[in-house]
Amino acid sequence: MEKYASASELILHRKPERPVLCARPHAAARAARWFVRNFDGDVAYAYKANSSVFLLGALYGAGIRHFDVASLPELEDAATIPGTELHFMHPVKSRGAISRAYELGVRSFALDGEDELARIVEATSGPDGRARDLQLFVRVAVPAINSLIPLEHKFGVSGASAARLLVKTRQVAHSLGLTFHVGSQTTTPDAFVSAFKALHDLIVEAGVVIDRIDVGGGFPARYPNSVPDDLSKFISVIDAELENLPVREDVRLMCEPGRVLVAEAESLIVRVDARRGSNLFINDGGYGVLFDAAHLGFVFPARLISRDVGSDAPMSGFELWGPTCDSIDHMPGPFLLPSSIEEGDYIEICNIGAYGRALATGFNGYGTYDEAILLDEPMLSMFERDEEDRASDVAV
């Protein structure tokens, strides 16, 4: 993999025909270090956000040893990483997937219904009866507050059926946990306050001993149109809420960050193939890495990298159009770029590391990328440079 000091350095040397996916592994490592240091529990990376080997390697190097996987292919992939603990946190799984996971050493499973509890118990039973070492997490429905992508409609149990499920799960679980997801890109910690309130009421109603609390993902990244609270605020809210929960003294905490660990760690270089007024036609789009910009209103930070127009050049808002023939292949933005932008220019679209690469399709013959590693900093960051960053400056 070729390394460049920056995206403009890459364009000085190459005029790529295809879009280029650029990894900044140091940004993923810094995010992971921050979580491992500041979160008082297990940090399980949500594998689906980005499974690039460069980023996985950086996360592992920074101390991530837990992975939240959602499918059998993800699990079989992650199982090749040595010395890790995998958590199969999709609440609905086939019997085949459950028993294969158990065979591969997975003991940690999420569920949100009695049917799933039965599937887990049956698929992990052996000739000596049911498994005695299951770590089961009941997924609780919690309200999404200030989240860009609510996740509470599909999964999660609440009310009397949640209490019933908790009692039944306690009977077969070696270790019993509660889990929830406040929704992706949750910009304030308020959602965690209401989630803990839901857990509190549920534990009191069910009257069972809880061994583990998994606060899920949802931790935010920075985008031009979404400026979240400091991550330390999320951590203090979670710590304070946990104090008030009727759980065992030595309860073990876990989180499943996806977006926040990798958002800053990749960017995309695209070429402007045509300009029509404030519309730029580029060589990747909503069927590629820019799904969230096309369908969920994400605005990513972007910059012109093929020409130096000076730092005080006038800027304008642009809409982006992808390369497929489909009219929904449109990223309304607006993306702020120099007003003089023209056909043939290259643009770096930053902070697309979360769910960018992961969502790209091959529609219309697109969806293949050149790849490179960049050594400079992402355009927007949630994290301050730390000791390790400064040490690697000296090493370079």
Q: Which residue has the closest beta carbon to ligand PLP? A: 217
Q: For ligand PLP, give the closer residue by CB, 92 or 131.
A: 92
Please report whether residue 257 would count as binding ligand PLP according to CB under 6 A.
yes
DSSP 8-state assignment for residue 152: T
Stretch that binds ligand PLP, among 215-223, 268-276, 317-325, 372-380 (CB under 6 A): 215-223
Q: How many residues bind ligand PLP (CB under 6 A)?
A: 17
Please report whether residue 49 would count as binding ligand PLP according to CB under 6 A.
yes
Identified binder of ligand PLP from the candidate list 48, 119, 212, 330, rule CB under 6 A: 48
Closest CB 218 distance from ligand PLP, rounded Å = 5
Stretch that binds ligand PLP, among 21-29, 116-124, 251-259, 317-325 (CB under 6 A): 251-259
Closest CB 78 distance from ligand PLP, rounded Å = 14
Give dist(CA 221, CA 158) in Å, integer: 29
Query: Could you tell me the sign of the dihedral formed by the alpha carbons of 123, 44, 206, 172, in that order?
Result: positive
Please report whether residue 256 would count as binding ligand PLP according to CB under 6 A.
yes
Give dist(CA 88, CA 116) in Å, integer: 13
Identified binder of ligand PLP from the candidate list 20, 21, 56, 68, rule CB under 6 A: 68
Please report whether residue 46 would count as binding ligand PLP according to CB under 6 A.
yes
**Tokens representing residue 216 in the block:** 């899920």
Please report whether residue 372 would count as binding ligand PLP according to CB under 6 A.
no
Please report whether residue 259 would count as binding ligand PLP according to CB under 6 A.
yes
Going along the chain, which residue ranges are E strands?
3-4, 20-23, 42-46, 66-69, 85-88, 108-111, 135-139, 147-149, 175-179, 184-186, 212-214, 252-255, 266-276, 279-282, 302-304, 315-321, 330-338, 346-349, 370-374
Give dist(CA 45, CA 43) in Å, integer: 6
Pairing type for strands 266-276 and 20-23 reads: antiparallel
Look at residue 270 and give its three-state secondary structure.
strand
Q: Which residues bind ligand PLP (CB under 6 A)?
A: 46, 48-49, 68, 70, 89, 181, 184, 216-219, 256-259, 354
